[in-house]
Chain A
């Protein structure tokens, strides 16, 4: 049976925990708003770019651009985008789980963005070839460096394909861990829209005759494809960031709610104990008085 003092101490500590989690919740909520807007605004651009390129890929002749076909090697490069900080629920765990469950053939090398990704992959004894720290909010030049790196590696021919593992942002309570193929060009799902894949089929199905390219296919692809890789990479980082802040906001909200519930229970117990003590005391006084009479 805990004493009233013990309970008082626990109430105090739970209260301060609730205050901290509440503060973190508010910070996360502010960042979440910004990150969500950023992710939502950029999405349609990346999606449309992806759609167009996928339909071009189907129409382009073999070997029009190296990004349209698999590399010569048999290794796979995976870029993992996770968060730098923890306390965001099961977000990073789910991502890593998804990654482990994804069937990857042959040798796999990893590039990480975010400290949690690097930590998890080192623990799993995977081959890390690079780690890119990206600040919050993410700036395009920082992500550009990642895009450049994977393009160089892909062009060197060691890798068959380049995949990106990140959390797709659907809404504040739903984030979907996904593994998408960025190179060679492939339909990519960004955000929660499942209708996207149908859109791609539409374009292909409507039987577009051969495109004319101005000035030529190679020039157009050479300008557009690197932009596509960098832009998509950036969008994926934005999705991951929006997911991170949303997940953290929700985790902290739950923590605050739990702490509040705990406070309620504890004060109830405390009051019960106090009442029992008082009753006891009164009882003792009356008994003592009756004994004296």
Chain B
């Protein structure tokens, strides 16, 4: 029984193929999905998504989003999905530093939406760094 994985972001269709299994960062921790998984809907947290196809596994850094799982499909809607090889460590670190700086300049209480946006951005970037480093340390 195949499991079709679809990853879609507002910018593009990142991935759509049949895979053997998926591990994704769900709301209540890492969650493995195999074919014939019970129907489930959950929110996605920024982190690492790993899918295995033909014994070869691939990592992607994903942002916040929504996951819908039926027995045959896993559909991931997220605001970011980047393959490990595309992550530029230096650029990401710089982005985190910049985001933290702009966070300080925003007064607490005001600009709630901006603060939330910057926080989400930091989370996304941290997730990217995390997955990149884990890969290289192995």
Contacts and interface: CB of A to CB of B under 8 A. Distances in A.
A127 B26 CA distance: 45
A220 interface: yes
A278 interface: no
Given A208-B70, A214-B27, A224-B66, A48 B41 contact: no
Given A41-B11, A215-B27, A52 B39 contact: no
A45 interface: yes
Nearest to B31: A214
A231 interface: yes
A3 interface: no
A154 B37 CA distance: 36
A208 B66 contact: no
Interface residues of A, number: 27
A261 interface: no
Contacts of A141: 113
B10 A220 contact: no
A212 B27 contact: no
A119 interface: no
B91 interface: no
A212 B40 contact: yes
A45 B75 contact: no
B11 A211 contact: no
Given A48-B75, A52-B77, A214 B10 contact: no
A52 B9 contact: no
A2 interface: no
A283 B103 CA distance: 89
Given A52-B75, A215-B27, A42 B11 contact: yes
Given A224-B66, A231-B10, A45 B77 contact: yes
B80 to A, nearest CB: 12
Interface in A208-253: 208-215, 217, 219-220, 223-224, 227, 231
B28 interface: yes
Contacts of B68: 52, 56
A141 B43 CA distance: 22
A44 interface: yes
Interface string B16-49: 0000000000111000000000111111000000
A49 interface: yes
B13 interface: yes
B88 to A, nearest CB: 22
Interface string A41-84: 11011101100100010000000000000000000000000000
Given A49-B66, A208-B70, A215-B28, A41 B41 contact: no
Contact of B9 (A45, A208, A220, A224): A45
A65 B75 CA distance: 22
A270 B123 CA distance: 72
A220 B43 contact: yes
Contacts of A208: 39, 70
8 contacts: A52-B41, A52-B77, A211-B39, A212-B38, A215-B27, A215-B28, A215-B42, A220-B43
Closest 8 CB pairs of A and B: A214-B42, A212-B40, A211-B39, A45-B10, A52-B68, A211-B41, A42-B10, A45-B8
Given A46-B10, A56-B41, 6 more contacts: A41-B10, A42-B10, A45-B9, A211-B39, A211-B40, A215-B27
